[in-house]
């Protein structure tokens, strides 16, 4: 029998938890963040920091749990303890960030994203990174830019899982049509 003698942190009341959420939104500079008015509403933002990074700062202080199940390819599942307070989090993405993630996925697996469980798990890890639009992934970022270069909707963003799924499929088909290797060679030449 396993006994846990660690004292559980008391859960903050919603007003205190909301203040913490607001502080973290500001600290992390979460783009287009919508801070919930009540504990039953969703916290949402586009791109920016990953949900896991937010969770690492929010959960230990608040005693709450996060439920990212409303997000496209949620990075983790929540198994809420009985009586625990849960904040739903929905992270959305811009079309450009999905294009960069698609490029990073293909670059890491040498194949396009599909709907398999393995692909979904890897894509969820890529999407939960804090730096989807960072220049740190130079070639992958250039390929992502090339995928949306002529797209009049390249600056759109969404929280809707179905819209994001459709964009991901569209970007994969475009990557397949244009050819990853061709785009990689062009991006590499641009960096040289």
Same domain flag for 109 and 81? no
Q: Residue-wise pLDDT tens for the chain (192 aa)?
A: 455 555 566 899 999 999 999 999 999 999 999 999 988 899 999 999 999 999 999 999 999 999 999 899 888 777 777 778 999 999 999 999 999 999 999 888 767 677 788 888 889 999 998 878 877 778 888 999 999 999 999 889 999 999 999 999 999 999 989 998 899 999 888 876
Contacts of 111 (CB under 8 A, 6+ apart): none
Q: Are strands 157-158 and 86-94 parallel, antiparallel or unpaired?
A: antiparallel
End-of-domain residue from the set 69, 92, 115? 92
Residue 3: inside a domain: no
- Residue whose entry in the numeric block shows the structure tokens 């990953």: 50
Residue 109: inside a domain: yes
d(CA 90, CA 45): 7
Residue 9: inside a domain: no
Write out the residue range of the structural domain in which residue 56 sits: 14-92
Give the per-residue pLDDT at 3: 52
Give the per-residue pLDDT at 115: 73
Rg (CA), the chain: 19
- Residue whose entry in the numeric block shows the structure tokens 């608040």: 62
pTM score, whole prediction: 0.87
**Cβ atoms 39, 85 nearer than 8 A:** yes
Residue 7: inside a domain: no
Total number of domains in the chain? 2
Same domain flag for 105 and 123? yes
Same domain flag for 182 and 114? yes
Q: Which long-range contacts (CB under 8 A, 24 or more apart) does 162-167 make?
A: 164/72, 164/92, 164/93, 164/98, 165/72, 167/95, 167/98
Give the per-residue pLDDT at 110: 61
Residue 184: inside a domain: yes
């Amino acid at each position: 029998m396993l006994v846990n003698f660690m004292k559980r942190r008391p859960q903050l009341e919603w007003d205190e938890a909301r203040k913490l959420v607001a502080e973290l939104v500001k600290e992390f500079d979460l783009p287009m963040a919508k801070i919930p008015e009540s504990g039953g509403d969703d916290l949402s933002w586009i791109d920016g920091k990953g949900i896991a990074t937010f969770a690492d700062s929010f959960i230990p202080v608040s005693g709450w749990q996060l439920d990212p199940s409303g997000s496209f390819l949620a990075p983790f599942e929540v198994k809420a303890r009985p009586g625990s307070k849960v904040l739903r989090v929905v992270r959305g993405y811009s079309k450009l960030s999905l294009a960069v993630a698609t490029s990073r996925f293909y670059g890491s697996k040498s194949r396009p994203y599909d709907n398999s469980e393995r692909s979904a798990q890897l894509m969820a890890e890529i999407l939960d990174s804090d730096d989807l639009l960072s220049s740190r992934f130079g070639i992958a970022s250039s390929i992502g830019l090339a995928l949306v270069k002529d797209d009049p909707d390249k600056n759109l963003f969404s929280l809707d899982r179905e819209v994001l799924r459709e964009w991901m499929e569209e970007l994969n088909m475009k990557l397949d049509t244009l050819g990853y290797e061709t785009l990689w060679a062009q991006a590499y030449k641009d960096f040289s």
